[in-house]
Amino acid sequence: MEFSELIKKRRSCRAFQNTPVTEEQLQSIAKAGQWAPSPLNEQPFQFIAVTDPGVKAQIQKISIEAKQTVINKNGPAWVEKYPMNFIGDCPLILVVIYDADKGGLGSYFEQPHGALQSASACIQNMMLQAKDLGLDSLWFTFFNPSALKSILDIPEELDIAGAIMVGTPAMNAKAPKRRPPMVHRDRFNAEAH
Ligand SMILES: Cc1cc2nc3c(=O)[nH]c(=O)nc-3n(C[C@H](O)[C@H](O)[C@H](O)COP(=O)(O)O)c2cc1C
Number of domains in the chain: 1
Cβ 144 under 6 angstroms from ligand 1: no
Ligand 1 pocket mutation, candidates 12, 67, 143, criterion most atoms within 8 A of CB = 12
Q: Check whether 142 has a pLDDT greater than 90.
A: yes
Count of CB atoms situated within 10 Å of the CB of 150: 12
Q: Is residue 182 part of a domain?
A: no
Q: How far is the CA of 104 from the centre of ligand 1 (A)?
A: 27
Res 84: pLDDT: 96
Give the residue, by CA position, lying nearest to ligand 1 atom 17.
12
Domain limits at 154?
A: 9-167
State how far the Cα of 121 lies from the Cα of 33, in Å rounded to an integer. 8
Give the residue, by CA position, lying nearest to ligand 1 atom 25.
12
Q: Is residue 160 part of a domain?
A: yes
Q: What would the mean pLDDT of 134-157 be, rounded to a whole number?
A: 98
Q: How far is the CA of 108 from the centre of ligand 1 (A)?
A: 31
Q: Is residue 13 part of a domain?
A: yes
- Give the domain CATH number at 87: 3.40.109.10
Res 144: pLDDT: 98
Q: Is residue 176 part of a domain?
A: no
Q: Is residue 188 part of a domain?
A: no
Name beta bridge partners: 160: 97
Res 94: pLDDT: 98
CB environment 43-81: b (16+ within 10 A), e (fewer): bbbbbbbbeeeeebebbbbbbbebbeeeeeeeeeeeeee
**Residue pLDDT, tens place only, 50-82:** 999 999 999 999 999 999 999 999 999 999 999
Q: Is residue 163 part of a domain?
A: yes
State how far the Cα of 169 lies from the Cα of 37, in Å rounded to an integer. 29
Task: Quickly list H helices, the chain.
Answer: 3-9, 23-34, 53-72, 86-89, 114-132, 145-152
Give the residue, by CA position, lying nearest to ligand 1 atom 16.
12
**Where residue 95 falls among pLDDT bands split at 50, 70, 90?**
very high
Q: Which residues, 6+ apart, have CB-to-CB distance to 34 below 8 Å?
A: 43, 122
Q: What would the mean pLDDT of 87-115 be, rounded to a whole number?
A: 97
State how far the Cα of 193 lies from the Cα of 176, in Å rounded to an integer. 21
Q: Is residue 56 part of a domain?
A: yes
Q: Check whether 193 has a pLDDT greater than 80.
A: no
Res 145: pLDDT: 98
Q: Check whether 9 has a pLDDT greater than 90.
A: yes
Ligand 1 pocket mutation, candidates 139, 142, 165, criterion most atoms within 8 A of CB = 139
Res 190: pLDDT: 87
Q: What would the mean pLDDT of 99-117 be, rounded to a whole number?
A: 97
Q: Check whether 143 has a pLDDT greater than 80.
A: yes
Give the residue, by CA position, lying nearest to ligand 1 atom 15.
139
CB environment 159-182: b (16+ within 10 A), e (fewer): bbbbbbbbbebeeeeeeeeeeeee
Res 192: pLDDT: 74
